[in-house]
Amino acid sequence: MKGGIRTRSAAALVAANMIGAGVFTTSGFALADLGHREAVLLAWLIGGVIALCGALSYAGLASRIPGNGGEYLFLSRALHPLVGFLAGWVSLFAGFTAPIAVAAHGLEAYVSASIDVALPPGVLGAIAIVACGLAHGIERGAGLRIQEFAVAVKIVAILLFIVLGAGVMLASSGSPPLEAVGSDSASGAVSLSAFAVTLVWISFAYSGWNAAVYVAGELEAPNRTLPRALILATLGVMGVYVALNAVFLWSAPVAALSGKAEIGAIAAEALAGAWARSLLSGVVALGLVTSISAMVMVGPRVYAQMASDGLFPEGLVARHALPRRAIALQVGLALAAFFVAELRDLLLYVGFLLGLSAATTVACLFLPSIRSSASAPAIPGMPWVPGLFIVATLGAAGLTLLREPLQAGVGLATLAAGALFYRVQRLRGPAAET
């Protein structure tokens, strides 16, 4: 597509989606469950490998099924319109709406804990969601340019924090005690189910690795641009995540970090004082705003594609290249989720549902009709890369269902509601067969 989104912008979109609330809020909850810094850091490393396997798999799928829409497009074309619709339904609630709410919650947690801002609860998060909706609903180019600049500032600031934090810890004569809390036994063993739940949380933190797929139809030379954007951004973010969480986890005693959403702010203050806490909180706030911005841009493209296929109301179809009504819908739903749900529950809900959707999507690579495409490039690491992604993702989801049945049950209820909605839509008028 001449004049389309280039590799740099696509990679920035992926990084903006990935570096959001998850990396700045997850480790405190994970530490409370696992009790060991090493176990939490290992989970971040494993989560990165799983995300990379997913990125490689999605690149192979996108070369065979081009266009906007992500999982909805892939599953509709490869399996059945109902399966594709359910993936789009998951994207509506767990792929974008809930993550935007998570990012808004994280934004408020960091700002309220570190900066003296006299705003009622909920105001700052709501302003961020609405402002991002306006930015992307007016003109695409302006939103992309602002996002690229903000992502660059965010990544540079995070890298500086990693370097400075590591330097402070190495120069320090002492170190935080390595005691464990919340272990399942006197031996300090880590529960497999607890580790699986941690992977679900961490999978949410990595979940933006597929962001460029949703705008694949708007990329310049997508067969070249998309794999580069997905793989380079995922590898870069994985390195940042592991290093950043190493600094977080070893900056302060376990008891000070365990169960805290604002773990980054606590770590910064332990390393360099209150000024560092405020500075990092500003960086985190910037990161969360760019994450909200990226999701507000990407999500409505899915709904617009579904509307053009007759599965969502016709009014959501993009007009003049911008899906303004879909953006307005996204903003409204995100505001509702932000005001009614808590952060920890949202993290589990999102990770569980997105895992099911992504695993089903990657499984399409094993269909003969997809594998035998002569015009598409080879699928990297087939069958081991997609196989590892599917096994790891479904395994974590299954163990989550056993350990956290309420949040997983809400996820399954979301799928059931989607199937009912699809049936009603078909009765009102046949959707376009894809």
pLDDT per residue over 225-284, tens digit each? 778 888 888 888 899 999 999 999 988 888 888 888 788 888 888 888 888 888 888 878
Four-residue CA torsion sign, 393, 18, 15, 307: positive
Q: Which residues of 72-94 are buried (b: 16+ CB within 10 A; e: fewer)?
A: bbbbbbbbebbbbbbbbbbbbbb
C-alpha to C-alpha distances, 129 to 93, 125, 393, nearest whole angstrom? 15, 6, 30
Residue ranges of the chain whose pLDDT lies below 70: 1-4, 68-69, 113-118, 137-148, 172-188, 212, 214-217, 320-321, 373-377, 429-434
pLDDT of residue 334: 93
What the block records as the tokens of 8 is 């740099």
- pLDDT at residue number 403: 84
Residue 224: the pLDDT is 75
pLDDT tens, position by position, 381-427: 888 999 999 999 999 888 888 888 888 889 899 999 999 998 887 77
For domain 7-428, the CATH architecture is Up-down Bundle (1.20)
- CB burial class (10 A; 0-12, 13-18, 19+) of residue 242? middle
Instruction: Determine whether 389 is exposed, middle or buried from the number of CB atoms within 10 Å of its CB (0-12, 13-18, 19+).
Output: buried
Torsion on CA atoms 387, 347, 341, 133, rounded to nearest 10: -80
Q: Express each pLDDT in 208-239 by its tens digit.
A: 787 767 666 677 777 777 788 888 888 888 99
Q: Which residues pair with 5 in a beta bridge?
A: 219
Q: What was the pLDDT predicted at 177?
A: 42
Q: What are phi and psi of 5, to 5 degrees?
A: -70, 130
212: amino acid identity, one letter: A
* Structure confidence at residue 206 (pLDDT): 87
The structure tokens listed for 116 are: 């003296």
CB atoms within 10 A of CB 425: 16
